[in-house]
């Protein structure tokens, strides 16, 4: 067991280490056609309703998929389970949990999957041959800790990292990949304002489907959240894909905003808007509510029940349902 002095020394040394990691991965560019795109999907109904605004969210286990540093804010053992049907016959789900390891930090783990359903294989004449399926899975494990604040103003500073083992299969073909996430979270002393930075999916394929290796969906995110004084709402602003090529104004198009309203001790209402998603879903027949999201949450004793819906305009919508628990 580490002594407190040795543990504190190691955590101080983590600060320059993570700074170096940030500069290293922030210089990488995202590819326009990455594989394992399911890693960009929202995890959990709360995240979906807030358009992914979980980078600064404390005491939420699924925030680890957006910023692993948030693991260090867990106050209890937490677990989350979710399943939802996407468009067509596609479905996805997750399971996650996290807890504190004394003298080391907080640890979390989870599994993500997307099932694309069954397909009919045919020959050139259209004759049906057999059925095949497609499935994407990611196993995630992360650790985070609060470290000594070396910034010129007071607050709580957290850093964390995830490792990911990723698998994809299509019929008789498969691909495997390894990736890491790194993240930092700073909470100001007023406990109403926070900023965060995360770099997700930095890695590469270990084996490809056939012979061509494809890049992973690398993503650099920055977020700011604020809870106005005397108002029961927490507001989020998130910029993502900051590593993609383009001028400064192009990068600012990829943002989302969200608000979580606390209605009494048991009920939460949530709204979100994803600007990039709305731009991508514009159709000649009208964009409608594409890019907007909404949801609600119920807190009952040690359980949470969350519901969220993403709007795709004339294409339709997508619903999420998540059950969480704490011990």
pLDDT tens-digit profile of 228-256?
988 999 999 999 999 988 777 777 889 99
- Transcribe 189-236 into DSSP letters: TTSSEEEEEEEEEEEEEEE-SSS-------EEEEEEEE--TT-SEEEE
> Cβ atoms within 10 A of the Cβ of 145, count?
20
Rounded CA gap, 208 and 117, in Å? 21
Structure tokens at 41: 């999907």
pLDDT tens-digit profile of 6-40?
344 344 444 455 555 555 555 455 555 678 999 99
Rounded CA gap, 187 and 185, in Å? 7
Determine phi and psi for 105, rounding to 5 degrees. 155, -160
pLDDT tens-digit profile of 174-216?
999 999 999 999 999 887 999 999 999 999 999 988 877 888 9
- Transcribe 258-294 into DSSP letters: EEEEEETTTEEEEEEEEHHHHHHT--TT--TTTTEEE
Alpha helices in the chain (DSSP H): 4-26, 45-49, 248-251, 275-280
% of the chain exceeding 90 in pLDDT: 58
pLDDT at residue 117 is higher than 60: yes
> Cβ atoms within 10 A of the Cβ of 237, count?
17
Mean pLDDT of the chain: 86
Helix (H, G, I), strand (E, B) or coil at 163: strand
pLDDT of residue 9: 37
316 falls in which pLDDT band (50, 70, 90)? confident
- H-run or E-run covering 141: strand 128-147
Max mean pLDDT among 19-23, 90-94, 163-167, 315-319 falls in 163-167
Rounded CA gap, 52 and 236, in Å? 9
Cα distances (angstroms) measured from residue 22 to each of 161, 171, 183, 200: 11, 37, 8, 11
pLDDT of residue 70: 97
pLDDT of residue 284: 54
Domain segments of the chain as ranges: 4-259
Beta carbons of 186 and 195 less than 8 angstroms apart: yes
């Amino acid at each position: 067991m580490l002594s407190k002095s040795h543990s504190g020394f190691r955590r101080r040394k983590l600060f320059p280490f993570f700074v170096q990691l940030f500069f290293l991965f922030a210089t990488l560019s995202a590819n326009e056609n990455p594989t394992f795109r399911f890693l960009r999907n929202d995890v959990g109904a709360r995240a979906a309703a807030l358009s992914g605004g979980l980078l600064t969210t404390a005491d939420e286990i699924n925030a680890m998929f957006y910023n692993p540093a948030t693991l260090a804010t867990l106050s209890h053992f937490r677990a989350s389970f979710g399943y939802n049907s996407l468009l067509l016959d596609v479905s996805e789900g997750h399971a996650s949990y996290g807890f504190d390891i004394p003298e080391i930090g907080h640890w979390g783990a989870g599994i993500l999957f997307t099932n694309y359903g069954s397909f009919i294989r045919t020959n050139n004449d259209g004759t049906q041959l057999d059925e095949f399926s497609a499935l994407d899975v990611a196993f995630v494990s992360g650790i985070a800790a609060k470290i000594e604040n070396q910034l010129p103003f007071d607050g709580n500073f957290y850093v964390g990292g995830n490792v990911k083992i990723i698998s994809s299969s299509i019929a008789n073909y498969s691909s495997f990949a390894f990736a890491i996430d790194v993240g930092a979270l700073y909470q100001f002393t007023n406990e109403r304002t926070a900023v965060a930075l995360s770099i997700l999916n930095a890695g590469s394929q270990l084996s490809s489907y056939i012979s061509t290796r494809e890049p992973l969906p690398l993503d650099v995110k920055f977020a700011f959240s604020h809870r106005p004084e005397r108002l029961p709402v927490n507001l989020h602003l998130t910029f993502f894909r900051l590593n993609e090529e383009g001028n400064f104004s192009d990068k600012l198009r990829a943002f989302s905003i969200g608000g979580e309203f606390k209605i009494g001790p048991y009920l939460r209402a949530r709204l979100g808007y994803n600007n990039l998603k709305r731009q991508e879903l514009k159709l000649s027949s009208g964009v409608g509510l594409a890019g907007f999201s909404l949801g609600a949450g119920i807190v009952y004793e040690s359980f949470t029940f969350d519901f969220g819906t993403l709007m795709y305009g004339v294409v339709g919508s997508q619903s999420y349902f998540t059950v969480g628990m704490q011990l």
